[in-house]
């Protein structure tokens, strides 16, 4: 009898632990945050100037956002947020070919996991038949999705819709509504049982059979309901880009690279490219792509800052996480200039700030001498 009670107690403890762990995993995943952003400057027009063009974009984005919200995305309304910010001029003037860089900047601005850029073209033409004059409205809507690191999500679409009505405004509104819903439906289309099983929640998070059957028949809550956007965003969420700008010498890149490879939370790191130009910090940079586990980009950024401080305080002679650091005081002195730069949910930025290094020389902070 005692053994039976002991076994039941152990099983209860294990079950509670599994449920708590599942809750932690689910909390860490959370909903995907996305912003549908109009490409304001197209063919010489600026949608922020008001008038009909702004109205076209507002209607189209409204219906795309409806579909995304219905499928569990956390949607940031880009039109209502961004039209109030004049600094957007700098971003919106970039050419269409530079949309990847534009998307990365926008994702950091909105604090989203991804952005979906839209291009819209509206054409009206008169038609005549036996009943009188009509208006033919043709709407073309193109879109491209990027995560916050600027990676293409493979969700590029081009849809068109044509309607004929007696009233000009009604023709426009109906055509824009239909093409926007068509884009939204494609982006959030259910991928089938296989995708749902691949992205489903842990079994211990769905205890009783009636609740399980309920989840199977509810289209808006399944793990595979997010379509191409959710699937492609989730599959790369553990890969983070780390970029160091302003590099003009190799020792700085070498020390920072050792930190990136050995910092807590990184399981794999690969250097993807670098440009080191002495005397030209605007042209110098180094880029790594890392795989993270048990952490997130912003905690990883804090860990990197902490390790850089440890290297400085040790005067370049220590072992961190099994990696030896053996540098002269002059070489370690260069690391004092590294500070955090723009970061997002998929990328971390650092920059070599020489003014910061000079300030630290006056304050004595992180002095290697």
Number of helices (H), then strands (E), belonging to the chain: the values are 13, 14
Same domain membership, residue 130 and residue 66: yes
Whose structure tokens read 């884009």?
183
Residue-wise pLDDT tens for the chain (369 aa)? 545 445 554 444 444 444 434 333 333 457 888 888 877 555 545 555 555 566 777 788 888 888 888 888 888 877 655 544 444 444 444 434 455 557 777 887 788 889 898 888 888 888 877 777 899 999 999 888 888 888 888 888 899 999 998 888 888 899 999 999 999 888 888 554 444 444 433 333 334 344 333 333 333 333 445 688 888 888 888 899 999 999 999 989 998 998 999 899 999 999 998 999 898 988 899 999 999 998 888 899 999 999 888 888 888 788 888 888 888 888 888 888 899 988 888 889 999 988 887 887 777 666 555
Q: For residue 113, give its domain range.
A: 33-187
Give the neighbor-by-neighbor strand order of the sheet with 239-245: 266-275, 285-292, 239-245, 347-352, 338-340
Same domain membership, residue 269 and residue 161: no
Residue 83 lies in a domain: yes
pTM for this entry: 0.68
Domain count, the chain: 2
Same domain membership, residue 271 and residue 183: no
Residue 214 lies in a domain: no
How far CA 84 is from CA of 89, 109, 332, in Å, comes to 11, 13, 44
Residue 5 lies in a domain: no
Residue 27 lies in a domain: no
Cβ atoms of 193 and 74 closer than 8 Å: no
């Amino acid at each position: 009898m005692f053994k039976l009670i002991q076994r039941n107690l152990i099983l209860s403890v294990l079950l509670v632990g599994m449920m708590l762990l599942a809750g932690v995993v689910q909390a860490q995943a959370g909903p995907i945050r996305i912003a549908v952003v109009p490409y304001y400057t197209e063919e010489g027009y600026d949608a922020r100037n008001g008038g009909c063009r702004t109205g076209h974009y507002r209607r189209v984005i409204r219906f795309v956002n409806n579909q995304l919200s219905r499928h569990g995305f956390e949607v940031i309304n880009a039109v209502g947020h961004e039209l109030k910010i004049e600094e957007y001029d700098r971003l919106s003037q970039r050419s269409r070919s530079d949309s990847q860089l534009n998307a990365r900047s926008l994702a950091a601005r909105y604090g989203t996991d991804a952005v979906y850029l839209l291009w819209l073209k509206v054409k009206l033409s008169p038609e005549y038949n036996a009943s009188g004059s009509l208006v033919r409205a043709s709407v073309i809507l193109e879109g491209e999705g990027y995560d916050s690191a600027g990676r293409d999500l493979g969700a590029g679409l081009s849809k068109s819709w044509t309607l004929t009505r007696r009233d000009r405004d009604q023709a426009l509104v109906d055509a824009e509504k239909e093409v926007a819903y068509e884009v939204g439906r494609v982006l959030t289309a259910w991928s089938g049982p296989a995708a749902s099983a691949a992205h489903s929640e842990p079994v211990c998070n769905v205890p009783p059979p009636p609740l399980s059957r309920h989840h199977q028949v509810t289209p808006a809550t399944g793990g595979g309901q997010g379509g191409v956007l959710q699937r492609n965003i989730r599959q790369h969420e553990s890969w983070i880009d780390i970029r160091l700008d302003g590099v003009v010498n190799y020792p700085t890149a070498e020390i920072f690279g050792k930190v990136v490879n050995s910092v807590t939370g990184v399981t794999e790191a690969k250097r993807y490219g670098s440009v080191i130009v002495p005397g030209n910090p605007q042209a110098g940079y180094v880029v790594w792509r890392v795989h993270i586990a048990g952490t997130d980009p912003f905690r990883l950024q804090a860990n990197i800052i902490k390790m850089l401080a440890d290297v400085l305080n040790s005067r370049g002679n220590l072992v961190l996480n099994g990696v030896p650091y053996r540098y002269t005081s002059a070489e370690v002195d260069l690391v004092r200039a590294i500070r955090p730069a723009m970061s997002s949910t998929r990328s971390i930025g650092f920059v070599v700030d020489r003014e910061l290094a000079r300030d630290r020389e006056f304050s004595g902070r992180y002095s290697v001498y």
